[in-house]
C-alpha cells in the first residue's frame, strides 16, 4: 500500500474508532436514561422519582391480578424476582396481558410506592412456538419464562 493510501486508511480508522469511543462513553454515562423503564427492584430501592411520569417493567405475578367487577379497574403486582411493586390501572389491557406475562406500565408512583398506571404495554419475549408445542410445554412445566434480568439490566 502506498503511503498516501496508508495515511487515508489511518484517517478512516481514526474516524470510526474515535466516533465509536466518543459515543460509547456518552452512552455509558447516559446508560440509566436510555432504559425504557425502571425495574421493580429499582423502584423499591427508591431509585425512581415520585410523582412524575415513569415506566415500570416486570412480570405480572401469578394470582395477583384483581379486577373490579363494576369497572375497568385492575390491580396487579409486577416482579423481577427480586423486588415487587403494585400497579393500579383503569383502562383496557392489551390482548397479551395475562399472569406471567412481561409488561411495561407507564404512570406515577404514589405515596405508597404504588404505580398509578395510565398505559400498560405488553412486552413480548423472544420465544415463538405453535399452540400444540406451547400446550405440551405447559403440561410438562417446561414453558420458558422470562428471567429476572430481562427487566433489570
Partner 1 sequence: MSEKKNWMPRWFYQLASPRWSYNIMGKLLPGFAICAALLLIGGTIWALMFAPEDYQQGNSFRIIYIHVPSAILAQSCYMLMAVAGAIGLIWKMKVADMVAKSCAPIGASIAVLALATGAIWGKPTWGSWWVWDARLTSMLILLFLYLGVIALHSAIENEATAAQSSAVLSLVGLVNIPIIKYSVEWWNTLHQPATFTLTERPAMPAEMWVPLLVMVIGFYCMFAVSLMMRTRNEILYRERRASWVRELLEKQ
With CB under 8 A as the contact rule, which of the stretches 18-26, 46-54, 64-72, 81-89 interacts with partner 1? 18-26
Q: Is 38 known to sit in a ligand binding site?
A: no
114 is annotated as contributing to ligand binding: no
Residue among 51 and 119 whose Cβ is closer to partner 1: 119
Q: Is the dihedral of CA 56, 30, 149, 134 positive or negative?
A: positive
* Nearest CA-CA partner of 81 in 25, 28, 148, 6: 148
Q: Which of 8, 19, 26, 40 is nearest to 150 (CA)?
A: 40
Q: Is 72 in the site for partner 1 (CB under 8 A)?
A: no
CB 97 within 8 A of CB 120: yes
Interface positions with partner 1 (CB under 8 A): 1, 5, 8-9, 11-12, 15-16, 19-20, 23-24, 27, 31, 34-39, 57, 94-96, 104, 119-135, 144, 150-153
Amino acid at each position: 500500500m502506498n503511503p498516501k493510501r496508508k495515511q487515508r486508511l489511518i484517517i478512516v480508522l481514526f474516524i470510526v474508532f474515535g466516533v465509536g469511543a466518543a459515543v460509547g462513553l456518552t452512552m455509558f454515562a447516559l446508560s440509566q436514561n436510555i432504559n425504557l423503564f425502571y425495574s421493580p427492584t429499582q423502584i423499591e430501592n427508591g431509585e425512581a422519582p415520585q410523582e412524575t411520569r415513569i415506566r415500570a417493567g416486570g412480570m405480572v405475578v401469578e394470582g395477583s391480578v384483581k379486577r373490579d367487577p363494576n369497572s375497568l379497574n385492575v390491580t396487579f403486582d409486577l416482579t423481577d424476582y427480586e423486588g415487587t411493586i403494585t400497579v393500579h390501572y383503569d383502562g383496557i389491557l392489551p390482548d397479551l396481558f395475562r399472569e406471567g406475562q412481561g409488561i411495561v406500565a407507564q404512570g406515577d408512583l404514589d405515596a405508597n410506592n404504588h404505580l398509578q398506571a395510565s398505559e400498560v404495554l405488553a412486552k413480548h419475549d423472544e420465544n415463538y412456538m405453535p399452540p400444540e408445542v406451547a400446550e405440551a410445554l405447559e403440561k410438562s412445566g417446561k414453558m420458558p419464562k422470562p428471567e429476572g434480568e430481562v427487566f433489570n439490566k
